[in-house]
Amino acid sequence: MTNWILFGKSGNPSFEVTKAWLKNHGIPVEIRSVYSITEQEIKTLSEITDRGARDLAYPNAFSYALINPQRASDQTLIEQIHSNTLSENEIKNLLVQNPHLVVSPILTNFDTLIVGYQYEKMGNTFRFVKVRDPLIP
């Protein structure tokens, strides 16, 4: 079976729901903090998204502020990412230097990428995956 990694932030409702969904469906996954994401991981993930590194950041300043109210001053960084004024490399560097700008959760095996809690996409991704019985340790 492919090794899956779930990047997230404690206290983020979408991360907690995704983690619970995976556990309830017996999907083995490595749980990692989004703050531990490496430069190479950001590069690899941005290569499998539709819009590059931009897809790894919060989609807008409002959604960022909801999850990160203590970092309201960083909303301008999210606006910069989505303004089309930064190059792909500049966005990647910004995410490496500021991992709190990376949307949470991110579920990946570095071939497939699911950004945010996407119930339907998770169901389709794991539909035919043979997993361990969640009731047996």
Q: Tell me: the pLDDT tens digits for 110-132?
A: 999 999 889 999 989 888 665 55
pLDDT value of position 60: 82
For the chain, give every domain's residue range: 4-125
**If pLDDT is split at 50, 70 and 90, which confidence band does 1 have?**
very low
CB 104 within 8 A of CB 34: yes
Superfamily of the domain at 4-125: Glutaredoxin (3.40.30.10)
Residue 64 CA: distances (Å) to CA of 8, 56, 77, 78, 118: 14, 12, 10, 8, 18
Q: How many Cα atoms are found within 13 Å in the side-chain-facing hemisphere of 10?
A: 2
* Nearest CA-CA partner of 11 in 33, 41, 37: 33
**Average pLDDT over the chain, rounded to an integer:** 87
Which 8-state DSSP code applies to residue 34?
G
Q: Using one digit for the tens of pLDDT, what is the confidence trace for 83-109? A: 989 999 999 999 999 998 999 999 999
Residue 114 CA: distances (Å) to CA of 7, 80, 90, 121, 122: 11, 23, 23, 7, 8
The H or E element that residue 67 is part of is helix 61-67
pLDDT value of position 129: 64
Contacts of 33 (CB under 8 A, 6+ apart): 7, 8, 9, 10
CB 29 within 8 A of CB 15: no
* Nearest CA-CA partner of 132 in 28, 30, 29: 28
